[in-house]
Structure 1
């Protein structure tokens, strides 16, 4: 598991709550820390049988973590402190929308 300062259980509900926090621009944690939390969520869910909602949450968490890695690798951004880098807020809004449908 990745080290993260977000001390919430790895649940679909908490994923939704954390996405809402980012969308409201309530700066409680850097997006990098959230991406690491999402990676941990996917590991926590592992190979378990997931209901439809948890399966969607798993896919969204995995996409967040993967997009973070791709964004970080792109355009020579490796020189920037990950704690200061931010993904486009529209991406988080879209993930929230998917999770809330």
Structure 2
């Protein structure tokens, strides 16, 4: 899968393995990409899973899809609940980070299988 609906600086194929690697990298603080790029990548991953019509997701891919969807939704909610409209209009999204405990929770959930 190498679709690119929304542009992101992360140029990895949309796979569950790459999702795990990216999330783990962020949790360790070793990411060279922004969490904004990761949120976009997560959104693209969920669209890639949705685009695979007729293919039943296995248990792991289904879990990855759910976590990726939660990340991209929580990103939007975090922005809306943290910043004013005026701030959002000029905010450099590449400088925004989700709370670390959220990321660690998602990684723990991912590792539960």
In the alignment, the residues of structure 2 paired with residue 59 and residue 21 of structure 1 have an alpha-carbon distance, to the nearest angstrom, of: 19
**2:57 equivalent to 1:50:** yes
* Secondary structure at 2:94 match in 1: coil
Q: Tell me the distance in 2 between the aligned counterparts of 1:94 and 1:14.
A: 18
1:1-101 equivalences in 2 (<5 Å): 1-46=5-50, 47=53, 48-75=55-82, 76=84, 77-78=87-88, 79-101=90-112
Aligned mates of 2:20, 2:107 — CA distance in 1: 7
Alpha-carbon distance in 2 for matches of 1:7, 1:83? 16
Gaps of 5+ in 2: none
Q: Which runs of 4+ in 1 moved over 6 A?
A: none
**Pairwise CA distance, 1:94:** 0.7
Q: What is the TM-score of this pair, normalised by structure 1?
A: 0.94
Give the structure with higher Rg (CA): 2
Q: Which moved more, 1:70-79 or 1:29-38?
A: 70-79
Aligned-pair RMSD on alpha carbons? 1.2
